[in-house]
Amino acid sequence: MSSAHLSIGDLSRATGTKVETIRFYEKNGLLPEPSRTQGNYRAYEPAHLSRLSFIRRARDLGFSLDQVRALLTLSDDRSQSCAAVDVIARAHRDEVERKIKDLQSLKTVLDQVIESCHCNIVADCAIIESLAPAPQGS
């Protein structure tokens, strides 16, 4: 009987997670429902804190909630092969890599567009012009 229970506010402060977000994780099956006090307050065990920290760390690394759920399930079954973990991590890294490339080519275009503007009024603005389609008015 460990009696050092934590309130939702304690978890919030300990992990930098908003209280509403913690309840959201519970409702969405990432964090198991804790026991309750007489006044119906959530009373967490240290294990909950560990799990929430895990979730936050994975979220910080950009894993989706679905991916976090999968990682949690895998980490719960510690005898399982590590390969599935690797697959999730690599898929996520590839996704991040793709996003970086996309944003880099986007930035190149934005740089060009911004660079091209030497005008004073919107009528001559190269930025606006680059957004407007060539007037193929027939």
Partner DNA sequence: TATACACCCTGTAGTCGCTATAGGGTCAAG
Partner DNA sequence: CTTGACCCTATAGCGACTACAGGGTGTATA
Instruction: List contacts with a copy of itself (CB under 8 A).
Output: 14, 46, 49-50, 53-54, 57-58, 61-62, 71, 74-75, 77-82, 85-86, 89-90, 92-93, 96-97, 99-100, 103-104, 106-107, 109-111, 113-114, 117, 119-125, 127-128, 130-133, 135, 137-138
Told to check if 15 binds DNA by CB under 7 A, we report: no
Told to check if 10 binds DNA by CB under 7 A, we report: yes
Rounded CA separation 104/107 (Å): 5
Nearer to a copy of itself, 40 or 83 (CB): 83
Burial class (CB in 10 A: 0-12, 13-18, 19+), 95: middle
Region for 123 from its dihedrals, namely left if φ exceeds 0, alpha if ψ lies in -120 to 50, beta otherwise: alpha
- What tokens does 98 get? 């793709």
Nearer to a copy of itself, 36 or 61 (CB): 61
